[in-house]
Structure 1
Amino acid sequence: MSSLQSNIKRITDKLQRVLKLHQQLQKDNERQTKIIKELQETKEKNTQTIAELQQQADILKASAGQMAAQDKKAFEKHINNYIKEIDKCIGLLSE
């Protein structure tokens, strides 16, 4: 019976090690998921900041008259899109 008991003890010990490893891996997974979420939020903020800075740079170029023809067309397209959005908002508000 002692060999049976030793086998049971050995299996129990291995099972406990596997359970501890599983718990540790779950904690690591949660931590990494949290880090990924934070990094995604930071990326979104940085993307918004880049877009805002690009708009500011375009506005400065336009006001200084230093825009290339292609940049000027793109800038005008953005302005026209903003105007269309404003017109839609005014139309919805007037209903």
Structure 2
Amino acid sequence: MDETQLKRIQDKLQLLLRQQQQLQKDNQLLREELSLLQKSNAQHEEQTEKLKQQLDILKFSNTAMSDAEKAQFEKRINAYLKEIDRCIALLSE
């Protein structure tokens, strides 16, 4: 192997190392952005759930519900109660 080939290999290796470092930086930035977006999404989902709860309460308080609506409302209330029980169980561990 002559000196020019060795120099070319070293240059390529240096280029690959720089590219790897840049990709690692890009990857870290993307991970941070993903984390922020996931937190934002969780907040939006929580807000949506709160609004759904408020809507259900308003529906219940302002109008007479049909049997199907009552059943659906009861299911949601039961789901909320189960979630509350689950949270209490986690807190008491």
- Which TM-score applies when normalising by structure 2? 0.76
Gaps of 5+ in 2: 89-93
Cα distance in 2 between the residues matched to 1:44 and 1:69 = 33
Provide the aligned length of Structure 1 versus Structure 2.
84
Name the structure 2 match of 1:52: 50
Name the structure 1 match of 2:69: 71
CA offsets, 1:20-72, max 9 Å, x none? 00000001111111111111111111111111000000000100015343222
Identity within the alignment, %: 38
2:37 paired with 1:39? yes
Q: Give the drift of 1:77.
A: 3.2
Cα distance in 1 between the residues matched to 2:3 and 2:68 = 82
Name the structure 2 match of 1:92: none
Gaps of 5+ in 1: 90-95
Q: CA RMSD in A?
A: 2.3
Q: Give the drift of 1:8.
A: 1.1
Paired residue secondary structure (1:17): helix
Q: Give the drift of 1:4.
A: 1.2
Cα distance in 1 between the residues matched to 2:65 and 2:4 = 82
